[in-house]
């Protein structure tokens, strides 16, 4: 079986959107794909050792809520923390892996994790806060791998 390649661009830094890149990359690796994730803009948050990802119902009318909550109430202080806690609790009760666990599985499976150098500089991220073993590169670095990929996803 010749090795297929999967290239993912992760652009979002919320708890919910942290899942698709790590689920797909870890699964692809289990299926024998050579996999790379390129983290850019808010996606860089997914590389921090200490993940403090949150979900927000604001601007997201599709988020299932246990009860209808008016938008102005959603914007109150503490609501985002509460929603995040509720989401994490629900995920745990349903046997959904944590983001940390899925990321660790990606690292174990040797998924290549590339941080966008330009956005690291733009937002003045401290690279010491990132997990070990990641690479840094730009658009051309991404295309070096993505240009030969069988599947390319923008998340």
Residue 4: partners with Cβ closer than 8 Å, 6 or more residues away: 32, 33, 34, 150, 151
Candidate list 94, 126, 132, 154; residue touching another protein; CB under 8 A:
94
| Residue 26 near another protein by CB under 8 A | yes
- Cα-to-chain-centroid distance, residue 140: 21
| Residue 23 near another protein by CB under 8 A | yes
Tell me which stretch binds another protein (CB under 8 A): 29-37, 46-54, 60-68, 80-88: 29-37
- Residues between 116 and 155 that touch another protein (CB under 8 A): none
In the chain, which ranges are E strands? 5-10, 34-39, 112-116, 135-137, 151-154
- Check: CB of residue 110 under 8 Å from CB of residue 89: no
Separation CA 105–CA 137 (nearest Å)? 22
Cβ 96 to another protein shortest distance, Å: 5
| Residue 87 near another protein by CB under 8 A | no
Candidate list 62, 95, 128, 133; residue touching another protein; CB under 8 A:
95
Q: Could you count the other beta carbons within 10 Å of the beta carbon of residue 26?
A: 22
Task: Give residues in contact with another protein (CB under 8 A).
Answer: 1, 23, 26-27, 30-32, 94-97, 105
């Amino acid at each position: 079986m010749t090795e297929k390649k999967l290239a993912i661009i992760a652009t979002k830094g919320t708890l919910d959107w942290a899942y698709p890149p790590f689920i797909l990359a870890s699964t692809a690796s289990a299926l024998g794909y050579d996999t790379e994730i390129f983290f850019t803009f808010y996606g860089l948050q997914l590389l921090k050792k200490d993940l403090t990802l949150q979900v927000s119902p604001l601007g997201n009318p599709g988020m299932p809520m246990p009860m209808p909550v008016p938008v102005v109430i959603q914007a109150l202080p503490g609501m985002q923390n509460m929603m995040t806690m509720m989401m994490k609790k629900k995920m745990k009760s349903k046997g959904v892996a944590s983001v940390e666990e899925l990321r660790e599985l990606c690292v174990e499976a040797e998924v290549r994790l590339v941080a966008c150098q330009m956005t690291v500089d733009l937002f003045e991220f401290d690279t010491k806060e990132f997990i070990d073993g990641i690479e840094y590169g730009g658009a051309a670095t991404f295309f070096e791998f993505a240009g030969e990929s069988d599947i390319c996803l923008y998340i």
